[in-house]
Amino acid sequence: METTSFLIWLVFIALIFSIGLGAMLRAYQGSGGFTVLFAEPIALSADTALEPDMLLQFQKACDVYRQGSFPQAIERFTHLIQDHPTLAEAYHNRGLSSANLRQADQAVSDLLQAGEQYLEQGHPAGFDRVKQDLATLKQQGIKH
């Protein structure tokens, strides 16, 4: 009889331990804590003309972004900006990457630069998207 009681208590304690451990692991892995604010990068405007190698670099940077490797995406978009300093979409995506990493100062700076580029290039839709993204940052409480 004592062995049966011991085994019942052992199973009961193991069950409570496994439930607690599972809950802690889910919380640690970010199932409710850290959310990506901007899941998709901005695509190139239809009238944006890039050399084939620059277009390939932009597509690869967007792929890295979609994979959630935001530091690497920032690096790739930075290289694009160095080679093509008027590419609004590169500033926009670098800003979104920074926002996803909660780097508010850099995110706001890049989004403002993207907005300027969109206006200079006559892309009001891009400018409106930047305004929406800045509003999202403000709404989420990410301050610079």
Span 62-92, pLDDT tens digits: 999 999 999 999 999 999 999 999 999 999 9
At residue 31, the pLDDT reads 38
pTM here is 0.75
Element (H, E) at 39: none
DSSP assignment letter at 37:
S
Residue 15 predicted with pLDDT over 90:
no
User: pLDDT tens digits for 95-138?
Assistant: 999 999 999 999 999 999 999 999 999 999 999 999 999 999 98
Q: CA geometry: angle at 127 spanning 93 and 130, to 5°?
A: 45
Cβ atoms of residues 116 and 93 within 8 Å = no
- The structure tokens listed for 54 are 């620059």
Distances (CA, A) of 22 to 9, 30, 33: 20, 13, 15
Q: What is the identity of the amino acid at 68?
A: G
